[in-house]
Amino acid sequence: MKENYTIKDIAELAGVSKGTVDRVIHKRGKVSPKALEQVNKVLDKIEYKPNPIAKSLKNNKIYNIAILLPDADADPYWLPCYEAIKQIEQEFSHFGIKINKGVFKPKSTKSFTKAADLVIAEKPDAVLMVPLFYKEAEHVAKMCVAAGIKIATFNNYIKEPQINLEIGQDLFQSGRVAAKLFNMLLGNKATLAVLHIDEAFQNASHMQEKERGFKDYFAQKELAYTINVHNIKKESKIPFDQTIENFLKSLDAVDGLFVTTSKAYLLANHIAAYLPKSFIIGYDLVAENIKYLEEDKIAFLIHQDPKKQVYLSLTNLIEFFLFDKPLQESLTLPIDIINTENYPQYLN
């Protein structure tokens, strides 16, 4: 009949008081067998779902969520994450949610560890982090588990079974998406280059997963593709842009270039001069990539939606704390294919 029964309703139906019903529901004991039976009889018939609103109204506990993420000044890829945090703070300002940012330099493991230590010292209820550095992140996860702090990751993965919530993209599959796009563009035979362009290689596992998926596609379809892998890293004293140009100079002709990081723009900058007929597929809607996408120097971008990742991670944690919603252990977001015509809507 009724939609939502309250504790009061149940108490009346069972002929006992609210307090007794509460004790039965929360299994606090101190209930006579008779009362227990009466209440359970009612609970069997109806479905009781406690009202989450009333619950959180009374709850004046403040939940502290720490978030460890890279500095957006160092890499604009992370900028949308900060917007998501701001949005969440506003949306949940009345629910007693505090978010504490631990910002680290994306090239420095020390900076990561320091930020983590600072943040954990305040004993938050949960830590959400970008586990850029494998070993260090594993250590943080273990520390959190030991301290009873919920631990969540986004954007990257570490193989730590105790992680409570993982949100990210299927990187292997995103490599396959890029492969399929090249396959559509180039047909059954071509020469491709996979480029891991990263100033510091902190994204090693990230990049390798994408490469694996990329190669897997062509292997599985048994296509006559030649695929060469190149690692491009900043050399001290030489500007990164110069390193890229030198690399392109020395590269044999290829039909397509797959850049596994957000640095496709560094390549696109010189593509017209050295490989005017090659297609570039890269990752991430950062401003510089969009510029070259619009100039048709980048064919496609794959969007990892960091904003959505943070937003989902945080709402999931918050609803766990406030409303006892279970944490979704692992959540894989769509792999968005971006071209000149559809990118604006993805920027919000």
Partner DNA sequence: TTGTACGCGTTATCAC
Partner DNA sequence: GTGATAACGCGTACAA
Residues found near DNA in the complex (CB under 7 A) = 6-8, 16-20, 22-23, 25-26, 30-32, 34-36, 50-51, 54-55, 57-58, 60
Helix then strand then coil, % of the chain, to nearest 5: 50, 20, 30
326 contacts a copy of itself (rule: CB under 8 A): no
93 contacts a copy of itself (rule: CB under 8 A): yes
1 contacts a copy of itself (rule: CB under 8 A): no
Question: Pick from a copy of itself, DNA, none: which does 22 bind, CB < 5 to 8 A by kind?
Answer: DNA
Question: Pick from DNA, a copy of itself, none: which does 176 bind, CB < 5 to 8 A by kind?
Answer: a copy of itself
299 contacts a copy of itself (rule: CB under 8 A): yes
- Asked whether 99 and 38 are in contact (CB, 8 A), the reply is no
User: Of residues 12, 25, 46, 56, which one binds a copy of itself by CB under 8 A?
Assistant: 56
φ, ψ (nearest 5 deg) of residue 124: -75, 170
**At closest approach, how far in Å is the CB of 17 from DNA?**
3
Question: Pick from a copy of itself, DNA, none: which does 335 bind, CB < 5 to 8 A by kind?
Answer: a copy of itself
- Contacts with a copy of itself, 213-252, as mask; x by CB under 8 A: ----x-----------------------------------
- Asked whether 301 and 281 are in contact (CB, 8 A), the reply is yes
The span of 23-31, 49-57, 121-129, 138-146 binding a copy of itself (CB under 8 A) equals: 49-57
336 contacts a copy of itself (rule: CB under 8 A): yes
Q: In the range 172-191, which residues lie near a copy of itself by CB under 8 A?
A: 173-174, 176-177, 179-181, 184-185
- Asked whether 336 and 316 are in contact (CB, 8 A), the reply is no
Output the CA–CA distances (angstroms, integers) from residue 281 to 210, 214, 232, 277, in the order listed.
12, 12, 16, 13
Question: Pick from DNA, a copy of itself, none: which does 6 bind, CB < 5 to 8 A by kind?
Answer: DNA
The full 3-state SS of 170-234, as one line of letters, equals CHHHHHHHHHHHHHHHHCCEEEEEEEEECCCCCCHHHHHHHHHHHHHHHHHHCCEEEEEEEEECC
Give the residue from 142, 161, 66, 48 showing the smallest Cα distance to 104.
66
CB-wise, 181 or 192, nearer to a copy of itself? 181
- Asked whether 126 and 149 are in contact (CB, 8 A), the reply is yes
**At closest approach, how far in Å is the CB of 103 from a copy of itself?**
22
- Asked whether 194 and 258 are in contact (CB, 8 A), the reply is yes
